Amino acid sequence: MENQILQIIYLIGSITFIIGLKRLSHPDTARRGNLIAAFGMTIAIAGTIFLYRNDSGESFSSTNIILIFVALLIGTILGVLGAKKVKMTAMPQMVSLFNGMGGACAAIISVIEYQHHFAVGEYGYMGTVLAGLLIGSISFSGSMIAFGKLNGNINDKTIPGQSIINLILMAALIGTGAYLTTLPEPNMMLLGVLTVGCLIYGVFFVMPIGGADMPVVISLLNSFTGVAAAFGGFIYNNQVMLTGGILVGSAGTILTILMCKAMNRSLLNVIVGSFGGGATGSASVGNAAMGTIKEISVTDAGVLLSYSKKVMIVPGYGLAVAQAQHVCHELETLLEEKGVEVKYAIHPVAGRMPGHMNVLLAEADVPYPKLLEMEDANNEFNSTDAVIVIGANDVVNPAAKKNPQSPIYGMPILEVDQAQNVIVMKRGMAAGYAGIENELFYEPKTRMLFGDAKATLQKLVAEVKAN
Amino acid sequence: MEQLINFLSSNMGMIYILILSVFLGIEVISHVPSVLHTPLMSGANAIHGVVIIGAIIVMGQAEPDNYLALTLGFLAVILGTLNVVGGFVVTDRMLELFKKKKK
């Protein structure tokens, strides 16, 4: 009886996941969708604790139920604290961190199941357990590296022949896994070796991938964890784990591909290409030939903006780091009051995650219709008097169109050089996250405004007010 | 080969769910505006936290003297909860910002 009720709860849970994901795809229903999925998760968890019966009809022992609740409580407190305290700019690495937790959870389950159910010894069963371990632990260590990179703790590193080493390591891991399924009795030693190998692979997998590609990697690891959860569904013959996991697995893969498309690159190229590492070599080429940099004073910039008809703001990671979204909105309303048309041009991969800029600007109450997607923005640049680039770099680099040698060649960019004037706000002349020079800064119509985005914008606001 | 066929046929129901879910996931996601990519990724991240169900089953069935299973299971439940709770709360925080606050 209990098991039948539990099955119905799982069914409801699966439906809430589908509805939740569906609703997450529309701005008006997104929040409700998230809550629906959270509700489904809650009943699935509670149902499992109280209604689960094993094959001989036994429920969990009360001691174990207490322990489960203690663990749930610890996890909830830590999770809520972490999620509430994190700054809006640090959201991407937080998602990566939580994703890693899920991966680790899947890996641990596999380790226990390997030992626990060994007697069963079904062919496909052991394969599923090991696949869950493989994917879960790669997702865990990979997510941790992605977290460290976005947090600025870890730099891009490539060892020569990295992609070949990765391929060999992957083959060795799969080979070890396959060998383990054929053994008649548990070999915890070899299982440990396999786990460590997977963790190392996760590190090697993410380590050489450049910062500009990090959003793609997080999305990919997200779908990995989904697949690992789905393997868990196979192990326990549990439909809600299977649907939840596979939904995320396939949705995450599509999202990953959408992101790659935005950069005009294939997924394979992202994984094997080691973007950030290879880029440094070509960075020095033609540096001197690029011309000179011209600066602009805050006063001149204020005048230029106040007397423009149409201004386009191009936000980037610099805006996020400086937490400048509110003062940016202030500048926008101020200019609007003066009769200047102000819009935002959003590159799909500006910031550290797709939609990162939208989230930040929404936080500052910038209305939706002001945010233009890349194609619409590119149609409007030639009628724009002034573009303000705030802490964006690679997404406005003309080398992506002009220079076939450039590592970002072929990536669609915001063609800000079509506008009459370009003001680039930057902290200094450092290269962008992809580590390459930007010709835009040397163009005759470009003026640089150096300084922290927030402080500079504040000065600019004061200047525009005075005009 | 025979084992593989046995595995497939004894799990046919699950395999149907798997295949249909793959297409469902693709279908549901492909109409998402890029504005919502970050919250969507975060929401999906919370949903794969469903792996916690497995952790609870492991933990619940652990024998009182099986310290390995108890310790690891306990840890797995904590990690899974972090994934679920943190994921949903972060997503909610992001989406809160999308509310139209004007007037």
Q: CA distances (Å), B26 to each of A58, A239, A246, A354, B32, in order?
A: 39, 19, 10, 18, 11
> Could you tell me the pLDDT band of residue A80, with boundaries at 50, 70 and 90?
very high
Least CB–CB distance from A109: residue in B76, B93, B96: B76
Task: Identify from A7, A69, A95 which residue to disrupt to test chain B contact, counting B C-beta atoms within 10 A and taking the largest count.
Answer: A95
For residue A206, the number of C-alpha atoms closer than 13 Å in the C-beta half-sphere is 31
Domain locations in chain B as residue ranges: 1-31, 33-103
Please write the tens of the pLDDT for every residue from A293-347. 888 888 888 888 888 999 999 998 888 888 888 999 999 999 999 889 999 998 8
Q: Name the one residue in this structure whose structure tokens are 């089953």.
A: B57
Long-range Cβ contact pairs of A128-133 (< 8 A, separation 24 or more): A128/A231, A128/A234, A128/A235, A129/A231, A129/A235, A130/A177, A130/A180, A130/A181, A130/A194, A131/A177, A131/A231, A132/A106, A132/A107, A132/A228, A132/A231, A132/A232, A132/A235, A133/A106, A133/A107, A133/A177, A133/A191, A133/A194, A133/A195, A133/A198
Calculate how close chain A gets to B12, using CA atoms only, in Å: 11
Please write the tens of the pLDDT for every residue from A215-257. 788 889 999 999 999 999 988 889 999 999 999 999 889 888 8
Q: Could you tell me the two tokens for A126?
A: 């052991």
Distance of CA A79 to the CA centre of its chain: 19
- Could you report the predicted ipTM of this complex, rounded to two decimals? 0.92
Question: Are residues B79 and A104, on separate chains, in Cβ contact within 8 Å?
Answer: yes
Q: Choose the catalytic residue: A213, A300, A394, A452.
A: A394
Least CB–CB distance from A83: residue in B31, B89, B102: B89
Question: What does B43-98 look like in DSSP terms, one character per residue?
Answer: HHHHHGGGGHHHHHHHHHH--TT-HHHHHHHHHHHHHHHIIIIIHHHHHHHHHHTT
What residue in A sits closest to B42 (Cα-Cα)? A95
Q: Are A171 and A249 in contact (CB under 8 A)?
A: no
The C-alpha atoms of residue A34 and residue A457 are separated, in whole angstroms, by: 35
Q: For chain B, how many residues are written? A: 103
Q: Are A125 and B8 in contact (CB under 8 A)?
A: no
The C-alpha atoms of residue A224 and residue A244 are separated, in whole angstroms, by: 13
* Residue B101 confidence (pLDDT): 46
Does the pTM exceed 0.95?
Answer: no
Which of helix, strand or coil describes residue A314?
A: strand
State yes or no: pLDDT of A388 exceeds 80.
yes
The CATH classification number of A288-466 equals 3.40.50.1220
Cβ within 8 Å of B, A 350-379? 353-356, 358-359, 362-363, 365, 367-368, 371, 373
Is pLDDT larger for residue A353 or for residue B62? B62
Q: Are B48 and A367 in contact (CB under 8 A)?
A: no
Least confidently predicted of A91-95, A195-199, A240-244, A330-334: A91-95
The C-alpha atoms of residue A278 and residue A264 are separated, in whole angstroms, by: 18
Domain locations in chain A as residue ranges: 88-273, 288-466
A192 reaches B (C-beta below 8 A): no
Which of helix, strand or coil describes residue A408?
A: coil
Q: Which of A220, A242, A243, A221 is nearest to A232 (CA)?
A: A242
Question: Are residues A242 and B17, on separate chains, in Cβ contact within 8 Å?
Answer: yes
Question: Are residues B88 and A41, on separate chains, in Cβ contact within 8 Å?
Answer: yes
Highest mean predicted confidence (pLDDT) among A68-72, A254-258, A278-282: A68-72
A394: annotated active-site residue: yes
